[in-house]
Amino acid sequence: MFANSQDLAKVRYSRAGRILFTLMLGLGMALSAHSAAAKKSRVIRVHDAKATRFLTPNPTRVRVMLDRALLKLTAQPTPRAAWQTLVTRADVIGLKVDAQHGPMAGTRPAMVEAVARSLIDAGIPARQIVIWDRSLEDLKKADYPRIAKALGVRLAGARDAGYESHPNFDVTLTHPLQPGDRHFGKPENAQQERLSHLSKLLTRELTCIINLHPLIAHPVTGSRGHLDALGLDCADNTSRFGKSPHHLRLAVPNFYLMAAYSHTLPPTRILTELKPNGSSRALLLQPTSGKEFFYFNKTSDDALPLARALRDALKVATAKGNTEAHAVLVLDETTAWRQHLLPNGGTVLGAHQLRTDRALPAPRVRLCITDALLCQFHLADTRRADYATTLNELWLSTDPVALDMMAAERIAKLRQFVKLSTRAEANEMRRAAGRMGMGVTRLEDVEIIDLPARRK
């Protein structure tokens, strides 16, 4: 549940604190599962038969499709008003794409360009829009530099930005580290090989994410979706999950939580709120009941006032030569989490937390778009056009699980039609994400609204 169980063991609680934590653990998990099942999700599916020609998207028609779906999703009269319900002018917006599978099988550049242009037309400064994936190299191969140059937006790679020490994910599965992993080439122990770390691109720069993912098959799990694409591409040491579906089902929902809910506050905000006339409670990245305990074990094993705990952690984190984040542990009557203080002076929420029926605050992922202009339903890694078909659709939702379950069903039907075997291993992972409150897994609980691209 927590990112680093060894750190938690170092903190000693009072008897009352231990009882409180135990009660929260049982009650929180029960209520979380119950509340997740009650949610309904909406998906806007827009279709234009002329959106592609010879497997090539028509940028003008794609933009019309996008704007039409946005209006319906947000119930706003204009695209500008629609975006204002999802993002702000102060946001640094990351457009997460799949560049690894190239411009045909991966996220189509025309789709990404339509989103970027729509955001710019809505008043978002181009310099605050970042097209990103696991690596800059993949983006360059998939024709994204052309878009960045034309629009004035930026490109970024999660691996190229480097990785934080925290938040991280620990699972008992080891594998030789790869170039770019945080501990690659350094003296390692078994614990370090078990950790996956979140990219600094997310902890220090992006304030929100729009996830743009293609409709694409996966040779092992059946289909690749929003959950695994964002989750696996934002962290290091993920190649170890390639041969262990069991561990993959466990890891992906946790990675997605780290990416989607690890809200970050910048150093200037921290310093302002920790001044005598500041409000240290404004730095809390989760809502609390008002009856909470704060621990920073480098200073004290006893509960501390919030400002003292944060100030002590900040001092240690920003000390000369330090490269590790340090965590303040927050416990209250209903929830618990770690809030990490970074070496650059910022603070980030660790997503490995006890959650209850209280909804998480607005996620960093504001919108998910499934690029269903084309569907690569077989041999995605080889980018075979003879195993791609045109659907000429875009699917928009705030629920990544619902979109991924729809994608799995569509890919399975296409494969059955051409008498290819089907796999559904990824659906177990999605059901786990549903139990963690990230979305609905039963398609009967999804309201799908079909739209033509243009008003009649």
Separation in Å, CA 99 to CA 250, 393, 427: 25, 19, 23
The CA distance from 32 to 332, in Å, is 16
Tell me which DSSP letter residue 443 carries. G
Backbone angles phi, psi at 296, to 5 degrees: -135, 105
* Residue-wise pLDDT tens digits, 193-215: 788 999 999 988 999 999 999 99
Task: Name the band, by pLDDT with cuts 50, 70 and 90, for residue 188.
Answer: low
* DSSP codes of every residue in 147-183: HHHHHT-EEEEHHHH-EEEEEEEE-S------TTSTT
Please give the pLDDT value at position 243.
Answer: 78
Is the per-residue pLDDT at 36 higher than 60? no
pTM greater than the 0.75 cutoff: yes
SS3 state of residue 190: helix
Compute the mean pLDDT over every residue in the chain, rounded to the nearest whole number: 85
Question: Scanning the structure block, which residue is given the tokens 């946001």?
Answer: 91
Task: Name the band, by pLDDT with cuts 50, 70 and 90, for residue 116.
Answer: very high
Q: Which two tokens stand for residue 113?
A: 């360009």
Please give the pLDDT value at position 361.
Answer: 62
Please give the pLDDT value at position 449.
Answer: 96
* Residue-wise pLDDT tens digits, 404-454: 999 999 999 999 998 888 887 788 889 988 888 889 999 999 999 999 866
Q: How crowded is residue 380: how many other Cβ atoms within 10 Å of its Cβ?
A: 25
* Residue-wise pLDDT tens digits, 299-355: 988 999 999 999 999 999 999 999 899 999 988 877 788 889 999 898 888 755 545
* Residue-wise pLDDT tens digits, 247-295: 888 889 889 988 887 777 889 989 999 998 899 998 888 778 788 899 9
Please give the pLDDT value at position 360.
Answer: 59
Is the per-residue pLDDT at 64 higher than 90? yes
Q: 210-225: buried (b, 16+ CB within 10 Å) or exposed (e) per residue?
A: bbbbbbbbbeebbbbb
Is the per-residue pLDDT at 2 higher than 90? no
* Residue-wise pLDDT tens digits, 120-135: 999 999 999 999 999 9
Please give the pLDDT value at position 383.
Answer: 66
Contact 315, 1 (CB under 8 A): no
